[in-house]
Structure formats: C-alpha cells, structure tokens
C-alpha cells in the first residue's frame, strides 16, 4: 500500500520531467495571458453597457426635472437612439464572448502541443495564430520537411480536421539575414513562400481539406521579435497557421491586446 502511494505521488514529477521547465512555464504563461485578455474584453464591454444604462437613466431624470422647473415640454425623446447604442454594445459583447470562446476552444484542442513547447498560440492582428519554429520544420535554406516537422504537422492536421466551416492561411516567415548563396531561392520571399506551400501540401496530404487552406510568404517583413540578436531572429523564423476570421468576427475586441510586432525577418 505504501509503495503504491509513493508511485502515485511520483507520477506528476515523472510527467513534468518529459517537458522542459522553460517550455512548460512559457506555455502556462501563454494560456494564462490569453485567459486574462478574454476576461478583460468581456469586462470592458460590461462596463460600457453599464455606463450607457446609467447615462440613459440620468438623462431621463434630468429631462423630467427640467420640465418640472420650466413648465416646458421635455426635449425630444432620445430613447430610440439610446436603445440603438445599447443594442450595438450587446452585439459587440456577444461577438467578444464568441471570439473568446473560439480562442479558448482552439487552445484546448492544441493543449498537449502547447504544453510540450511544440507550438505557440496567440492573437495577432485580429487573428488566432498557431506558430511553429522553422528550425523544427526545415533545415537552413531548405524546404524539405524534417521528420520531426512531419510529426508535428501530422498532429496539427489531426486537430484541424475537426474544425469545420473555417479557413486557414499558412504563412512563411524568415529573419532579416540575406539568404546568401542559394541555387534554389533568390531571396527570403521565395524561400518563405515555398515553405508555406510545402506545409499546405503536407496538411492536405494528412486529410485537411484543400478548400480551407491558402499559402503566403512574408519573408522578413512581419517579425514578432527584434532581429538584432540570435534569440529574436530564431523567433522570427517560423510558420504561422492563422484561423481566417468570418466577417462577423472582425469587430475589434476591447481589452484583448494583439501581440506587437518586433524588429526585422532570414533563413
């Protein structure tokens, strides 16, 4: 009995050892920040709606008092205008809640890969973005997928197949270092685009509908970190898989802060 208890107590430590502490902490921070952003978005909209309700009540009270003091009829009824404003706030709140739920669902679907440090999920320019390091997928200056990259994309494809009625854009990114001598690619534009196409083709081969996929290459021109040092350049060398928003999801979300762009984009 005592031995069983010891084994059960040791199990969480063994599982934690499978993931480096740094990657686990980064994944935990990412999920926590995302949850706080979603809560802040809802709180901001709730505050707006409460303020609008309070303003409407104060206006009605002031109009009544003015009419009583002057004996004049109150000014034209603004209730329809206020109702329209309230309805717009309700729509924004509903859209924010739906977007937050979508983000949380997306995080839940990729929880194992996030905890393992294989992918990073963020909100960037209004889109939910899943990012993978190029170093996992490709050798320097190449477009052939590495075995580890195929395995990661296979896991991603398995999850994307469960997301219906949505479209995904696969985008290639590099750091700012010139590509140098490469007989296959003249610049980072060609390299980043070719890599995005390779990823799209592989996802399609794993059962993701080709109708839901598109490819783009950004070279070094959409960085997420500074290119001034090796650490930043490593973050910029990546493949992003973005969930393309439906038109009703393009409403900006107060309180949900997009990740800021960084410094410059290479191989």
Tell me how far apart the alpha carbons of residues 63 and 85 are, in angstroms, rounded to a whole number.
19
Q: What are the structural domain ranges in the chain?
A: 42-99, 110-267
**DSSP H stretches of helix in 206-244:** 230-236
CATH-assigned architecture of domain 110-267: 2-Layer Sandwich (3.30)
What are the tens digits of pLDDT across the range 54-101? 777 776 677 666 666 666 655 566 667 777 878 888 888 887 888 888
Considering 33-37, 233-237, 242-246, the range whose residues carry the highest mean pLDDT is 233-237
Residues 74/59, Cβ–Cβ less than 8 Å: no
pLDDT at site 27: 60
User: Rounded to 10 degrees, what is the CA torsion of 194, 267, 204, 105?
Assistant: -140
3-state secondary structure (DSSP) of residue 171: strand
Strand partners, 216: 171
Residues 196/144, Cβ–Cβ less than 8 Å: no
What are the tens digits of pLDDT across the range 122-146? 988 888 999 999 999 999 999 999 9
Helices (H) and strands (E) in the chain, counts: 8, 5
Tell me how far apart the alpha carbons of residues 155 and 144 are, in angstroms, rounded to a whole number.
18
Mean pLDDT of the chain: 80
Higher pLDDT residue, 117 or 195? 195
pLDDT at site 250: 57
pTM for the model: 0.65
Tell me how far apart the alpha carbons of residues 15 and 9 are, in angstroms, rounded to a whole number.
11
């Amino acid at each position: 009995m005592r031995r069983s208890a010891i084994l059960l107590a040791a199990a969480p430590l063994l599982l934690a050892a499978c993931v480096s502490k740094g990657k686990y902490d980064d994944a935990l921070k990412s999920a926590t920040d995302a949850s706080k952003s979603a809560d802040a978005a809802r709180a901001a909209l709730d505050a707006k709606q409460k303020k609008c309700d309070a303003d409407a009540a104060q206006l009605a009270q002031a109009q009544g008092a003015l009419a009583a003091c002057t004996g004049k009829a109150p000014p034209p009824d603004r209730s329809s205008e206020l109702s329209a404003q309230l309805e717009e706030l309700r729509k924004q709140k509903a859209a924010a809640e739906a977007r937050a739920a979508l983000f949380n669902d997306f995080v839940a679907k990729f929880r194992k890969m996030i905890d393992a440090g294989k992918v990073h999920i963020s909100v960037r320019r209004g889109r939910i973005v899943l990012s993978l390091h190029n170093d996992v997928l490709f050798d320097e200056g190449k477009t052939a997928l590495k075995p580890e990259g195929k395995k990661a994309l296979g896991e991603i494809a398995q999850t994307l197949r469960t997301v219906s009625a949505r479209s995904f854009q696969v985008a290639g990114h590099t750091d700012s270092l010139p590509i140098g001598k490469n007989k296959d690619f003249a610049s980072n534009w060609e390299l980043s685009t070719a890599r995005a196409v390779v990823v799209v083709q592989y996802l399609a081969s794993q059962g993701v509908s080709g109708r839901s996929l598109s490819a783009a290459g950004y070279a070094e021109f959409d960085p997420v970190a500074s290119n001034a040092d090796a650490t930043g350049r490593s973050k910029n060398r990546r493949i992003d898989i973005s969930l393309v928003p439906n038109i009703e999801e393009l409403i900006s979300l107060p309180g949900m802060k997009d990740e800021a762009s960084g410094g410059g984009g290479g191989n």
